[in-house]
């Protein structure tokens, strides 16, 4: 009965082979700077993604504060966790409903990443919250979710997954492209002609600078980089930061705020009791720039930058002054830098809907290729309501 219901749904949401399809992609990163949602349309000819509508909202303070406390401490009361998941899911539902109501595109699937609370590749597990079944019922739309767990079940790191989308959208036959996502963690994708896609987490981008800025400026992030620009890079601090073993490990590798935490940062900065706080901020930006430069091979022609860190003018200047390739924002390739990750999960949602086998071993180290994500369908009763409201 369940299989029959799923096939019935698929027959409705999967168009003819020549038709284009649309999906909603959702992302809220570990920086907790907002909830990003977009509608993407997959071109039926070359399968590239076009972003046709976007919506960003700040997470309500009570949700952001609760999630931040869990992420920083790694400790949680279970009832508090369930309450936060409910509040977070309701915010996601509101975001999706606004997009659906304002668009005349039929949505085939919602790609829902959820909110990462803890990512532990060394344990072979990861935790994202988000009530996918509730989202499917509320929007009358299939939901693809839990993208990382399938990869980890095949002994992969579960991250990064963005390189798969980067290769599909940013890859060019005539140029070698690197894509740098400056989220809480910086991750890099290498799309080189004739070679398998490569991608891994470089290390901290916004996460440590956000933590430090909130400690010393009582604001969640140094948006334009003005605070960092008021300081100077401390070479001694930079050398200690760069000595962390993670930076010397070979890819594939992934990391997160669980590792690059406030405790990690303070343990190092406290070795420099007389350092000015603004100098720490400047040095953290330079750390990211150096990590990017070290990771880029000589044959890269263009570095495409996306993610919230692109708005940090000081960080972007440091990267531009450090690396060799031409540095451009992802808008050059027709995607707003703030919505590349959301677009990625819209695209991954479509791949999951198709049960597309994804080769992730070059980027996550998985032992087998496989489908990323699981599908949740509205109930039969909801299906009836959907058919009524959409005819």
Find the largest Cα–Cα distance for the chain: 69
Question: Which residue segments constitute the domains of the chain, with CATH numbers given?
Answer: 2-149+374-390 (3.30.420.40), 162-339 (3.30.420.40)
Is the pLDDT at 15 greater than 50? The verdict is no
Q: In terms of DSSP H, where are the helices of the chain?
A: 2-13, 61-73, 78-102, 132-139, 147-153, 162-170, 206-217, 226-229, 235-242, 245-248, 262-269, 277-295, 313-322, 340-353, 361-364, 380-390
In this structure, how many other beta carbons lie within 10 angstroms of the beta carbon of residue 391?
5
| CA 172 to mean position of chain CA atoms | 22
pLDDT range class, residue 250, cuts 50, 70, 90 = very high
pLDDT for res 385? 44
> pLDDT (tens digit, 9 = 90+) per residue, 199-232?
999 999 999 999 999 999 999 889 899 999 999 9
Could you give the percent of the chain with pLDDT greater than 70?
A: 92
Beta bridge mates, 336: none
**What angle do helix axes 380-390 and 2-13 make, rounded to 10 degrees?**
20
> pLDDT (tens digit, 9 = 90+) per residue, 334-351?
999 999 999 999 999 999
Q: In terms of DSSP H, where are the helices of 146-295?
A: 147-153, 162-170, 206-217, 226-229, 235-242, 245-248, 262-269, 277-295
**CB-based contact 343:335 (threshold 8 Å):** yes
pLDDT range class, residue 383, cuts 50, 70, 90 = low
**What angle do helix axes 277-295 and 313-322 make, rounded to 10 degrees?**
40
pLDDT range class, residue 11, cuts 50, 70, 90 = low
pLDDT for res 367? 96
Is the pLDDT at 381 greater than 90? The verdict is no
pLDDT for res 49? 87
| Mean pLDDT of all residues belonging to the chain | 91
pLDDT for res 74? 85
**CB-based contact 229:208 (threshold 8 Å):** no
**Cα separation, 346 vs 373, whole angstroms:** 12
- Kindly tell me the number of DSSP H helices and DSSP E strands found in the chain: 16, 12
Residues in the chain: 391
Asked which of 30-44, 73-87, 97-111, 161-175 is least confident by mean pLDDT, the reply is 30-44
**Cα separation, 88 vs 161, whole angstroms:** 23
**Cα separation, 322 vs 320, whole angstroms:** 6
Is the pLDDT at 390 greater than 60? The verdict is no
Peptide bond into 160 cis (omega under 30): yes
**Cα separation, 115 vs 27, whole angstroms:** 8
Asked which of 10-14, 219-223, 368-372 is least confident by mean pLDDT, the reply is 10-14
Q: How far apart are the first and last CA of the chain?
A: 25
In this structure, how many other beta carbons lie within 10 angstroms of the beta carbon of residue 353?
21
Average pLDDT rounded to a whole number, residues 313-321 = 97
Average pLDDT rounded to a whole number, residues 373-380 = 90
Average pLDDT rounded to a whole number, residues 78-101 = 97
pLDDT for res 152? 97
The segment with the largest mean pLDDT, out of 32-36, 57-61, 258-262, 287-291, is: 287-291
Could you give the percent of the chain with pLDDT greater than 90?
A: 82
Give the strand order in the sheet containing 177-182.
198-204, 185-191, 177-182, 302-306, 326-329
Is the pLDDT at 16 greater than 80? The verdict is no
């Amino acid at each position: 009965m369940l299989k029959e219901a799923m096939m019935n749904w698929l027959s409705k949401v999967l168009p003819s082979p020549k038709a284009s399809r649309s999906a909603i992609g959702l992302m809220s990163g570990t920086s907790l700077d907002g909830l990003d949602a977009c509608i993407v349309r997959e071109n039926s000819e070359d399968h590239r993604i076009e972003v046709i509508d976007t919506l960003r909202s700040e997470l309500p303070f009570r949700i952001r504060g609760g999630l931040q406390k869990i992420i920083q401490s790694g400790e949680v009361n279970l009832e508090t966790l369930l309450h936060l998941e409910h509040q977070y899911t309701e915010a996601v539902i509101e975001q999706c409903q606004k997009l659906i109501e304002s668009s005349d595109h039929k949505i085939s699937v919602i790609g829902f990443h959820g909110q990462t609370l803890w990512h532990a590749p060394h344990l072979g597990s990861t935790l994202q919250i988000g009530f996918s079944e509730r989202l499917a019922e509320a929007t009358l739309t299939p939901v693809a979710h839990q993208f990382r767990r399938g990869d980890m079940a095949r002994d992969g790191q579960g991250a990064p997954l963005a390189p798969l989308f980067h290769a599909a959208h940013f890859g060019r036959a005539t140029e070698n492209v690197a894509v740098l996502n400056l989220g809480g963690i910086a991750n890099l994708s290498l799309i080189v002609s004739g070679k398998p896609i490569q991608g891994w987490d470089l290390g901290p981008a916004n996460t440590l600078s956000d933590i430090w800025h909130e400690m010393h400026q009582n604001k969640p992030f140094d948006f334009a980089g003005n605070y960092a620009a008021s300081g100077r890079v401390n070479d001694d601090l930079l050398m200690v930061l760069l000595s962390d073993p993670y930076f010397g490990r070979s890819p594939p590798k992934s990391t997160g705020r669980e590792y690059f935490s406030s405790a990690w940062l303070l343990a190092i900065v406290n070795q420099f009791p007389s350092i000015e706080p603004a100098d720490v901020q400047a040095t953290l930006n330079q750390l990211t720039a150096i990590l990017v430069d070290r990771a880029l091979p000589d044959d890269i022609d263009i570095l495409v930058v996306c993610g919230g860190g692109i708005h940090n003018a000081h960080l972007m200047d440091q990267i531009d002054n450090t690396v060799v390739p031409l540095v451009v924002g992802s808008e050059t390739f027709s995607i707003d830098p703030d919505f590349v990750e959301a677009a990625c999960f819209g695209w991954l949602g479509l791949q999951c809907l198709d049960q597309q086998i994804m080769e992730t071993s070059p980027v996550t180290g998985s032992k087998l290729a496989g489908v990323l994500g699981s599908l949740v369908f509205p109930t039969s009763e909801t299906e009836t309501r959907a058919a009524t409201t959409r005819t």
